[in-house]
Amino acid sequence: MRSGLNHGRANRPGEPLRSDHGSAERPALTEFALLEGADPNKDQSYFLALLSQDQLRAARFPIGHLAKPELRRLAREAGLPTAEKKDSQGICFIGEVKMADFLKAYVPEHPGPIVRATDGKVLGTHRGLHYFTIGQRKGIGIPSNTDHEAYVVVGKRAADHALLVAFDGPAAPGLWTNACRVHSLSFIGEPITETRRLECRVRYRDPRVPIEFIPVGRTVPGEPPAEATVNFTTPQRALAAGQILALYDGNRLLGGGVFA
């Protein structure tokens, strides 16, 4: 949240960026919009996809209109020691700790088989499903024994704690999809309750891609639908349940949902 607040822009369509921190002179705006940050390499609007209008109204984005080189220049002129500090990498709140070590400290290990999804063959064992994510290639711990082929995680089977793998490619079962279902929908502005063509990001730093957004079930005026079907114009790789799908209209973040 900290990084996202630093790298977004909040305004009403047609309004300039406001960063007056809620002074008395601030006009009373009826609705705020959230735009991508001006620096595409640092934009983190994806992480704010579930932000509500009330939360956005209270937020400030004082540097969202600046590219990182310009921000560093201003920091140097102000004599700030962070002007030359390297960009942070990884997950900022766990510090200089490997993700596997962080998980091991808080989540008990639960070993299980590594199973080839195409034929059910057991290839090895793993220490716990929580160490892996869909689409992961590195760190699986089994050789492919096949030239120019590498295993990739394509699924997790909770019943026997099996990690499902296959050779990476278009034919890998479950790795690529043309459609998905999302739940826990949230919109910054007016909820979308009818079928509409939009754009989305399926993960941070991925480009926006065109979609057809189809609300599912009964809709209540002023309330977001319970679920929606999302049809992609091009197949998407490694969509993991529980991750966020962010919805956009151009560079304007509309809201988002959670992959089912």
Q: Which tens digits make up the pLDDT trace of 181-216?
A: 999 999 999 999 999 999 999 999 999 999 999 999
The domain that holds 148 is classified in CATH as 2.30.30.280
pLDDT at 169 over 80: yes
Q: Tell me if 157 sits within 8 A of 164, measured CB to CB.
A: yes
**Spatial CB neighbours of 171, under 8 Å, sequence gap ≥ 6:** none
Supply the pLDDT for residue 10: 54
Same domain, 160 and 181: no
The answer to whether residues 243 and 185 belong to one domain is: yes
* pLDDT mean over 34-41: 93
Residues 182 and 246 in one domain: yes
Do both 198 and 146 map to the same domain? no
Q: Could you tell me the CA-to-CA distances from 45 to 7, 51, 197 in Å, in that order? A: 7, 10, 20
Write down the mean pLDDT value for the chain: 88
Neighbours of 180 (CB within 10 A): 20
Domain assignment present for residue 11? The answer is yes
Question: Domain boundary at 167, 199, 221, which?
Answer: 167
Query: By C-alpha distance, which of 193, 207, 197, 199 is closest to 237?
Result: 207
Tell me which of 147, 167, 187 is where a domain ends.
Answer: 167
| Domain span holding position 124 | 104-167
On whether residue 150 sits in a domain, the answer given is yes
Q: What is the pLDDT of residue 31?
A: 87
Supply 226's token pair: 């319970």
CB 91 within 8 A of CB 98: no
Residue 217 falls within a domain, yes or no? yes
Considering the domain architecture, whether residues 246 and 216 belong to the same structural domain is answered as: yes
Map tokens 């540097």 to a residue.
Answer: 63
Residue 34 sits in the same domain as residue 75: yes
Total of domains in the chain: 3
Distance between terminal CA atoms of the chain?
Answer: 23
**What is the maximal distance between C-alpha atoms in the chain?**
68
Instruction: Please check whether residue 92 lies inside any domain of the structure.
Output: no
Last residue of a domain, one of 167, 194, 211: 167
Q: What pLDDT, on the 0 to 100 scale, is given for residue 20?
A: 30
* Predicted structure pTM score: 0.83
Domain membership of residue 98 (yes or no) is no
pLDDT in tens, 79-133: 999 999 888 777 777 778 888 899 999 999 999 999 999 999 999 999 999 999 9
